[in-house]
Structure 1
Amino acid sequence: MSIRPAPLSKDDASDRLTAPAPPREGTLHELHVTNAMLDGIEAMTSAETQETVLQALSETLQSTTGAQEVLVFGDVSERHFGSPESQPAVLFPPKCGRALEVEQIEWFARRRQIRDLSRCRTPAAASLCGHSEGSLIATPCRRKNGRLMVVLCWHQEPGFFDESKAQVLSRLTAITSHALRGIRMDDRQSLLASVLENAEVPVMLVNPADQGGDVVYVNAAYEAMSGRTLSEMLGMMFITERFRPGADLDNLCSAFADGQRGRFRILNTKKDGAPFLDEISLTPIRSDSGTLRYLLATHTDVTEHAQTQLVVHQLEQRIESAMEAVTSAILATGADGEVLYTNTAMRSLLHELYGTEMRPHQAIATFIKSVEDSDQRVEVTCSDGTIFLVRSFDSSEGGRVITGTDITDIKRTKRVLQQRAAAMDSTAEGIAIVERTARINYANPAFARIFGTENPDDIIGESWCKAFRDEDVARLSSEVRPKVATEGSAQIEMRANLADGERTFEVCVTRIDEKMRIVVARDITRRIEYERARTSFEQKLHDFEKNESIGRLAAGVAHDFNNLLAVINGHSALLNDRTPPDKVQLYSNRISEASSRAAKMINRFLDLGMSTDQQSMIDLRNLLTESQDLLHSALSADTCFTLDLDEDEMEMLCSPSDLLRVALNLVQNAQDALGNKPGRIHQCLKRLPGVDLMDLRLDVGQIDPDQIYARYAVEDSGSGIPSDVRKRLFNEHCSTKGQRGSGIGMMAIAEIIRNHDGAIRLLTEEGKGTRVEIFLPLSDYSLTRISEQDIGSVRLDGQLVLLVDDDAQVAESIAAFLERLGAEVSICLHPDEALEAIEEDPGLWSFLVTDYNMPGQNGGQLARAAKTADGDLPIVIVTALARKLSDPNLTEDVISALLGKPVDLNTLAHLIAQHGRINSAEST
Structure 2
Amino acid sequence: MTIVGHILDVSAAVLAFFIVSCFLKGRLSAVQKLYLSSAAFLLVWLMAIIGMEHTKKVGIWQVLDAITCACSALLIMTILMISLIFTKNLVKVPRNYWLLYLLPALSSLIVFTNPLHHLFYRRFSIYASEVRFGPLFIISGLQYYIYSLFVLIIMIRFGLKSRVRRVWGQVGLFIGGLLVPLFTNLLATLKVVNLPISATPLAFLVTIICHGIAVYYFNFLNIKPAALENMVDNISEGYAILSADSCIIYSNTAFEEIFGDKYHMRINSYLNRIVEELEDRKKDVIYNLLNFFDVCKQSVNIISYEQAILCEEGKFYYSVELTPILVKHRLAGVLAMFRDVTKLKEEMRRKQQNLSRAMERERLISLGQMIGSISHNLKTPIMAVSGDVALLEDLVREYKDSIGDQDVTVEDHKEIADEMSGWLQRIKECCAYMSDIITTVKGMAANLSTSSEGEFTIDELIKRVQMFLKGKLGKNGCRLIVSNELPEGNVIHGDINNMVQVINNLIDNACDAMEGRGGEIKLRAFRTEHSICMMVRDQGCGIPNDVKEKLFRSMYTTKGTKGTGLGLYSSAEIIRARFGGKIWVEDNEDGGASFFVELPDEERG
TM range (shorter): 0.3 to 0.5
What's the TM-score once normalised by structure 2's chain length? 0.46
Larger C-alpha radius of gyration, 1 or 2?
A: 1
| Higher RCO (C-alpha 8 Å, min separation 6) | 2
Q: Which has the higher helix share?
A: 2
What's the TM-score once normalised by structure 1's chain length? 0.32
